[in-house]
Amino acid sequence: MKPNSEEFQQYEYARKRTQAKKNVYYHFITLLIGCAFMYIANNWLGVFPEYKWYIWASFAWLFIFILHVIQVFITNRFMGKKWEQAQIEKLVKKQQEKMAVLEKQVEKQMLDEQNQP
């Protein structure tokens, strides 16, 4: 049995969303390991021990992680597949209306040219 186009699109959307969520979890684990490594490097291994740079680096990384979470769990919810489809339909309709106006203008010009001696 061959899936139809709509089923395939739904499957593909679900697969992409699952992959995006999976990437957030990987990012979180990497954040934890990275912050621990920076702490160890700064405090135990003596990498620039006069500064507590691991704090600033960890906060910068945390900020990027929060942006990633917002993009995956919040932005995609409001601007997901349904929003995207509505925008496409809106733009297609607008383009069709413009094409209809242009076709009428061309027809009018052709009629005007034919009526002139």
Torsion sign over Cα 107, 112, 114, 115 = positive
- pLDDT-derived band of residue 3, with 50, 70 and 90 as boundaries? low
Residue 28 token pair = 């979180």
Largest CA distance in the chain: 95
Helix H or strand E segment including 41:
helix 5-43
10-63 pLDDT, tens digit per residue, is: 888 889 889 999 999 999 999 999 999 999 999 999 899 999 999 999 999 999
Instruction: Look over the chain and give the mean of its residue pLDDT values, rounded to a whole number.
Output: 89
Instruction: Single out the residue of 28, 40, 105 nearest to residue 65, CA to CA.
Output: 28
Task: Return the amino acid letter for 6.
Answer: E
Domain boundaries, the chain: 1-78, 82-117
Q: Is 0.85 topped by the overall pTM?
A: no
- What average pLDDT score do residues 64-90 get? 86
